[in-house]
Chain A
Amino acid sequence: MPRLKQLPPWLARLVLPGLVLVWLLASDNAGSQTPDGDYSRKGADTCLACHEDAVTLAIFQTKHAVPGDARSPFGHGQLQCEACHGPGDEHSGRVRRGEDRPPIISFSDLYATDTSVENAMCLECHDDAIGLGWHAGMHSNDEVACADCHNSHAARDAVLQTATQAQVCYDCHQRQRTESLKAFNHPMLQGKMDCSSCHAVHDENVGTELVRQTVNDTCLQCHAEKRGPYLWEHAPVSEDCGLCHAPHGSNHPGMLTRRGPLLCQSCHSQSGHPSIPQDANGLPSGVPSQFLLGQNCMNCHSQSHGSNHPSGSKLMR
């Protein structure tokens, strides 16, 4: 058996953290976070004796209440309401006058249960589908509750509908909502595009929260004409669309971060017109400048994303 120092250096460096990792991950799951307590005697029928309002009953319009699906909370042998809300015997029992009814796991803001308990209930079923991608993400790290975004009782969960999803996300992502109201934008305000067109909050692209591996891969889903590879590439385009564009919204056409020609002149200083300042004297009231008006630099260098023309090295063809 090889001694540790006989192992290749890269493998030797991994032994200790690897063993810790194996121990941490391979520990059995006896510690399930399923809450303690007795379940009710008649399941949902017990609950519906009191909770017969429209909001509660809407659960029966959803995928959580499909008897034909054995894995649904209302599938055969499943725990019905208590699959999510936990054991309800004590909650549904008699309560003396003046005493508070014993709480049950709640997903409402008003009667909130601890987020970790709420999420554990959801992950009891959804862990193998989304949970392990979820654990790597920012929302999990910031203890966002599943119910902060999802309404499992709604016949059509707003966060799953393109027309309404952004408004759910904007409840927390206020800065993005502000940006979405700028003059030039993706069609979020019109409800024709949703946040999940680009972002995946519990998917498997670890560390990006994007639907594809990189920012550019994500943008190029819809803007594939800019993928190239071009004969003449524009370096920032190949690396990160966000170097010039503000994807959540901008005051400038094309969702650019700043106006041309100054945006271009941040990086281009060649002798001649690239280095010459284009000030307000170049407006129509002065000496109208071809470097400033219309499409400024792109009046000539129109192939700013790259050119496949043999004479296109200056992105003019």
Chain B
Amino acid sequence: MTAFFVLVAALLACLPPGAVAQTVDTSDWVCEFCPFRTGHQADFEVGVGSVSDDSAYFDNASGLGEEGVIGIVDGSGGFSSDGQQVEWTLEDLGLDARFAELSGGRQGSYGYLLSYREIPQRKFITTDTIFERSGPGELSLPAGWVRAGSTGGFSALASSLRPRDIESDRSILGIGGRYSARSPFSAFANYRRQQHEGTTILGGASFSTSSLLPVSFDYTTDEVDLGVRYAMQNGFLSLAYYLSDFGSAGNAFSWENPFASIAGAESGQLAQPPDNRFQQLRFAGGFGSRATGSHLSFTAAAGRIDQDALLLPYTTNGSLDTALPRSALNGEVDTTNFAATFTTRAIDNARVKVSYRFDERDNKTPREVWSRVITDSFVSGDSEQNTPYSFQRLTLSMSADYDLLDALRLSGGWGRRTVDREFQEVANQTEDTGWGRIRWRFRQVLDIEARGGIAKRDIDRYSERVAVQMQQNPLLRKYNLAYRYREFAEIDIHASVPNRPVSLTINGFYADDSYSESQLGMVSGDDLRFTADLNWAISDRTSVYLSTGIEEISSEQLGSESFSTADWRANNDDDFLTYGAGLRFLDIGDSIDLHLDYTRSEGTSRIDMVTASGGPSRFPDLETTLDYLYARLAYRRSERLELAATLRYQRFAMDDWSLDDVGPATVPQVLTPGAEAYDDKVLVFGLSFIYRVGNAAGSNRN
């Protein structure tokens, strides 16, 4: 890295400061017909709507999940005067997924931004639990609960179940400013606070049983971005600081065990995510020469993550607790990132690109010997050392494009990625990728690009010693660490009708992964994807489109229940199909706009297994079906007033064997919330009027 900065310093010495030359005489360019924006302008949309049904799936991120009446409140506008500008946006104020933003400033000098967004997240329309909140971070059993060794013995279950919504809300507040005076310097400062609060489902394990708990959480993340930038005629330099500070309202979550306790474990305690902080300093720059078409961009960043949250005791089972080796982890991770990319067109008809990137995660968290208490029931007796994972990742790539003919371009590239890791089975991994590409353009009618290549990921060795330390089968090869041979190919076709706004775009992609040196674990993977779009702008006011996408993703993995060589196999096949169509009719009779969009998506996941003990078996298909219809009819009553009718029909259905027919007591060892797979349908109808304030753009000639 030192060498790089020497080089950058040499470049800096060669580069002149910025200057803008202007030689055209524009003294007669008075722009008298230019309808510049001045004063206030605003569009307000206000109305009412109805939602036909309750739906968790469609409540998610949209706020359209509760049956009843909704308010439609949207708007945008601004004010402009003598270079001062203010703009504002309001979206979905009548829903739980609302957004508001205010920005402004003096263009070319300074600016500011204030924004607020809420995003609801909802899961499952029906969930029930026996647990009662008895305090912050505490769940207790209902009065009269009768413990048993399995769910079948929960005699008070039916009478104790109460509905509990699994939902959360994320709110994001943003404040920012920038300053860009007429000097080479500019600066920015941004602050963002995200609050994420709600209830999720988390498994709370006891010795051989578990309860899926409605766990409350309350997270706050504060982010700060500060930076200054220096612009030159041939480049820029920037220095930036980033802070992300995370805090959780509690550091633990405890629950009373509904199952018959083993070794006195009548309750359990889960750790909540620890408060943590990430700070990073980034230095970046870019230099270019138009004369040679050459550009160098670089980034260097150094960061640190730290967390010093107080540790919980080994167990809430007082008879088993022992002293911790330290009261707080004092975890610390240093990150280093360095990257540079150089591109040049110094050779006629050619472009060369060289990229280098280095990422390091250096986990300096202290290692200690810990004595685990198994699910608050037993002292494990084994001493364990924590393994703070570190890695270094280095990527070098080169590519070249050469225009053999005006319409024919040949390209090729090579890349090497090495990863060094600590405490894992593979210490050093190298992946080489080679690819070639041909692109043919026939006038502005046809543009075809085909690309293909291979990638070979090699490892120094797969350490079975480390695997055995983790009690793994020594024949297993983790898919992110294993040897892998990949072939891939892609084709893009873009066709247009000459001088007509009709275009067809097709993309096909295929990748074939082979983990041929793996005896257990993932052994192969295929990825086939196809998309097509047809767009036709029939006129300035009318357009239609058709689109489709198909995916087939499959993989095969091997396992060993006898803890020796492979004796079971699983095949995963994920298929996905989506298609859609839409049209826009604008200015029908000079006053009506019509928008129509329809999309259908179908996902199917199949799992086939062959096992030594059970023979071949096939899971029921996991299926998802999503229909989405959107229609909007708007009637312009005048330049200022518009009436709109909006219809949204959404349906999402799912067959999921992990949920279907799984009630709270279906699994003897697991008390579940009895969530059902989604089968949601919502019809949303809205009537609104849009009122415009201020002047729209119009020629000053009239």
Chain B residues positioned under 8 Å from A296 (CB to CB) = 658
Given contacts A229-B305, A243-B480, A271-B563, contact A224 B339 (CB under 8 A): no
User: Which residue of B is nearest A234, CB measured?
Assistant: B389
Shortest C-beta distance, B275 to chain A (Å), equals 9
- Write out, one digit per residue, whether chain A residues 19-61 have a CB within 8 A of any chain B CB (1) or not (0): 0011111111111110000010111110011001010011011
Tell which of B60, B83, B346 touches A69, judged by Cβ atoms closer than 8 Å. Answer: B83
Tell which of A66, A181, A288 touches B667, judged by Cβ atoms closer than 8 Å. Answer: A288
Within 74-115 of B, Cβ neighbours of A (below 8 Å) are at 76, 80, 82-85, 91, 97, 99, 106-109
User: Which residue of A is nearest B20, CB measured?
Assistant: A71
Give the interface SS of chain B, mostly helix, strand, loop or mixed.
strand
Chain A residues positioned under 8 Å from B607 (CB to CB) = 259, 262
B212 touches A275 (CB 8 A): no
User: Which residue of B is nearest A120, CB measured?
Assistant: B290
A128 touches B18 (CB 8 A): yes
**With A25-B288, A79-B24 given, can you name 20 additional A-B contacts, CB distance below 8 Å?**
A18-B10, A21-B342, A42-B28, A43-B28, A43-B31, A128-B236, A141-B401, A181-B578, A206-B284, A206-B297, A213-B359, A227-B276, A229-B388, A259-B622, A268-B472, A269-B475, A269-B521, A269-B559, A295-B658, A299-B203
A220 touches B559 (CB 8 A): no
A266 touches B557 (CB 8 A): yes
Given contacts A45-B30, A65-B36, A283-B657, contact A187 B669 (CB under 8 A): no
* Complex Cα–Cα for A262 and B657 (A): 14
Please, how many residues of chain A have a CB less than 8 angstroms from a CB on the other chain?
Answer: 152
B83 touches A206 (CB 8 A): no
* Complex Cα–Cα for A233 and B503 (A): 50
Given contacts A61-B697, A235-B389, A289-B667, contact A132 B288 (CB under 8 A): yes
Shortest C-beta distance, A284 to chain B (Å), equals 4
Q: Does B143 contact A (CB under 8 A)?
A: no
Tell which of A24, A268, A294, A305 touches B670, judged by Cβ atoms closer than 8 Å. Answer: A294
Q: Does B263 contact A (CB under 8 A)?
A: no
User: Which residue of A is nearest B444, CB measured?
Assistant: A112
Shortest C-beta distance, B5 to chain A (Å), equals 11
Q: Does B460 contact A (CB under 8 A)?
A: no
Chain B residues positioned under 8 Å from A77 (CB to CB) = 22, 26
Chain B residues positioned under 8 Å from A292 (CB to CB) = 658
Given contacts A224-B221, A259-B622, A262-B607, contact A57 B652 (CB under 8 A): no
Tell which of B3, B203, B470, B619 touches A270, judged by Cβ atoms closer than 8 Å. Answer: B470
Q: Does B672 contact A (CB under 8 A)?
A: yes
B28 touches A110 (CB 8 A): no
Tell which of B36, B107, B337 touches A60, judged by Cβ atoms closer than 8 Å. Answer: B36
- Write out, one digit per residue, whether chain B residues 349-381 have a CB within 8 A of any chain A CB (1) or not (0): 001010111010101010000101111100000
* Complex Cα–Cα for A175 and B613 (A): 40
A277 touches B609 (CB 8 A): yes
What are the nearest 6 A-B pairs in CB distance? A68-B83, A132-B286, A178-B549, A43-B29, A187-B61, A174-B531
* Complex Cα–Cα for A74 and B313 (A): 67
Chain B residues positioned under 8 Å from A1 (CB to CB) = none
Tell which of B276, B620, B662 touches A288, judged by Cβ atoms closer than 8 Å. Answer: B662
Q: Does B204 contact A (CB under 8 A)?
A: yes
- Write out, one digit per residue, whether chain A residues 282-317 have a CB within 8 A of any chain B CB (1) or not (0): 011100111011111011111101011111111011
B289 touches A27 (CB 8 A): yes
Shortest C-beta distance, A205 to chain B (Å), equals 6
Tell which of A44, A127, A214, A308 touches B329, judged by Cβ atoms closer than 8 Å. Answer: A308
* Complex Cα–Cα for A35 and B305 (A): 50
Shortest C-beta distance, B325 to chain A (Å), equals 9
Shortest C-beta distance, A274 to chain B (Å), equals 9
Given contacts A266-B521, A275-B563, contact A213 B36 (CB under 8 A): no
A182 touches B624 (CB 8 A): yes
Tell which of A174, A269, A311 touches B520, judged by Cβ atoms closer than 8 Å. Answer: A269
B31 touches A45 (CB 8 A): yes
Given contacts A45-B33, A294-B212, A301-B203, contact A66 B343 (CB under 8 A): no
Q: Does B384 contact A (CB under 8 A)?
A: yes
A41, A156, A284, A289 interface centre (most CB from chain B within 10 Å): A284
Q: Does B651 contact A (CB under 8 A)?
A: no
A25, A31, A57 interface centre (most CB from chain B within 10 Å): A25
B210 touches A290 (CB 8 A): yes
Given contacts A14-B3, A133-B297, contact A251 B83 (CB under 8 A): no
For the A-B complex, the count of residue pairs with Cβ-Cβ distances under 8 Å equals: 541
Q: Does B538 contact A (CB under 8 A)?
A: no
Q: Does A100 contact B (CB under 8 A)?
A: no
Shortest C-beta distance, B458 to chain A (Å), equals 18
Tell which of A24, A163, A222 touches B289, judged by Cβ atoms closer than 8 Å. Answer: A24
Give the interface SS of chain A, mostly helix, strand, loop or mixed.
loop
Q: List 21 A-B contacts (CB under 8 A).
A: A21-B11, A21-B342, A24-B292, A25-B294, A27-B292, A30-B291, A132-B297, A135-B286, A178-B549, A181-B626, A182-B603, A205-B339, A221-B223, A222-B170, A227-B276, A231-B311, A258-B555, A269-B475, A279-B617, A317-B270, A317-B271
User: Which residue of A is nearest B397, CB measured?
Assistant: A207
A206 touches B34 (CB 8 A): no
Within 236-291 of B, Cβ neighbours of A (below 8 Å) are at 236, 238, 242, 244, 246, 248, 251, 268-271, 273-274, 276, 278, 280, 282, 284-291
User: Which residue of A is nearest B245, CB measured?
Assistant: A224
A72 touches B335 (CB 8 A): no
User: Which residue of A is nearest B64, CB measured?
Assistant: A190
Q: Does B478 contact A (CB under 8 A)?
A: yes
Chain A residues positioned under 8 Å from B344 (CB to CB) = 24
User: Which residue of A is nearest B674, CB measured?
Assistant: A294
B117 touches A192 (CB 8 A): yes
Q: Does B37 contact A (CB under 8 A)?
A: yes
Chain B residues positioned under 8 Å from A305 (CB to CB) = 273
Chain B residues positioned under 8 Å from A312 (CB to CB) = 271
A284 touches B205 (CB 8 A): no
* Complex Cα–Cα for A284 and B668 (A): 11
Tell which of A48, A174, A302 touches B549, judged by Cβ atoms closer than 8 Å. Answer: A174
Q: Does A199 contact B (CB under 8 A)?
A: no
- Write out, one digit per residue, whether chain B residues 293-323 have a CB within 8 A of any chain A CB (1) or not (0): 0111111010101010101111100000000
Chain B residues positioned under 8 Å from A32 (CB to CB) = 290
User: Which residue of A is nearest B609, CB measured?
Assistant: A279
B83 touches A280 (CB 8 A): no
Given contacts A25-B11, A31-B290, contact A239 B572 (CB under 8 A): no
A206 touches B576 (CB 8 A): no
A58, A70, A190 interface centre (most CB from chain B within 10 Å): A190
Chain A residues positioned under 8 Å from B657 (CB to CB) = 280, 283, 293
A251, A283, A285 interface centre (most CB from chain B within 10 Å): A251
B521 touches A178 (CB 8 A): no
A22, A75, A178, A182 interface centre (most CB from chain B within 10 Å): A178
- Write out, one digit per residue, whether chain A residues 196-234 have a CB within 8 A of any chain B CB (1) or not (0): 000000001111100011100100111011111111110
B82 touches A68 (CB 8 A): yes
Within 167-197 of A, Cβ neighbours of B (below 8 Å) are at 171-172, 174-175, 177-179, 181-183, 187, 189-190, 192-193
Q: Does A93 contact B (CB under 8 A)?
A: no
Q: Does B589 contact A (CB under 8 A)?
A: no
Q: Does B473 contact A (CB under 8 A)?
A: yes
Given contacts A183-B624, A281-B617, A311-B374, contact A174 B505 (CB under 8 A): yes
Tell which of A135, A187, A267 touches B479, judged by Cβ atoms closer than 8 Å. Answer: A267
Tell which of A205, A229, A231, A293 touches B276, judged by Cβ atoms closer than 8 Å. Answer: A229
B234 touches A45 (CB 8 A): no
Q: Does B536 contact A (CB under 8 A)?
A: no
Chain B residues positioned under 8 Å from A152 (CB to CB) = none
Chain B residues positioned under 8 Å from A252 (CB to CB) = 605, 622
Given contacts A78-B26, A183-B652, A299-B670, contact A22 B11 (CB under 8 A): yes
* Complex Cα–Cα for A24 and B202 (A): 58
Q: Does B395 contact A (CB under 8 A)?
A: yes
* Complex Cα–Cα for A67 and B26 (A): 14
Q: Does B324 contact A (CB under 8 A)?
A: yes
